[in-house]
Amino acid sequence: MTELDPVTVRVLSSDPTLEPSLTAGNEHAVTAALEALGVDRPAQMTAAWVDGYFSGTGRRRKAEFALALADEIDRRRDAGKPVTVPAHIAAVFDHLYADGGTDDSTINDGGDDDATSLAPDA
């Protein structure tokens, strides 16, 4: 990766893995997502506990957790409750949208079969 232009390519690294890196600042959302899955969890949610769970008995439930957490984050945002974006993930979005975002006219919303709407400008 070192030979690639850092303006074009960046690497996201979650330490230790994605699930625990999302916990800090989102303890209530993580707790709610785990409750939605019926997971017994500690009274005090920590990144260390989340890491241990998904490194062990929860390793096969990562996708379920991701969907439950996404639902909970949507609920929290709709209710005006805070959601924390970890710095390493915010940096990725800052990089992806450094030019101010996308031009919505180039996004194919699936409403038609016009795949050319995804083609880069010539």
Domain with 81, as residue range(s), is: 18-98
Q: Report the predicted TM-score, pTM, of the whole model to 2 decimal places.
A: 0.72
Domain assignment present for residue 8? The answer is no
Domain assignment present for residue 110? The answer is no
Domain assignment present for residue 6? The answer is no
- The one-letter amino acid code at 10 reads R
Domain assignment present for residue 34? The answer is yes
pLDDT of the residue at 101: 55
Burial class (CB in 10 A: 0-12, 13-18, 19+), 3: exposed
Domain assignment present for residue 43? The answer is yes
Give per-residue pLDDT as tens, 40-88: 989 999 999 999 999 999 999 999 999 999 999 999 999 999 999 998 8
For residue 69, give the nearest of 36, 20, 46 by alpha carbon.
Answer: 36
User: Packing angle between helix 27-36 and helix 62-78, nearest 10 degrees?
Assistant: 120
pLDDT of the residue at 1: 61
Domain assignment present for residue 115? The answer is no
Number of domains comprising the chain: 1
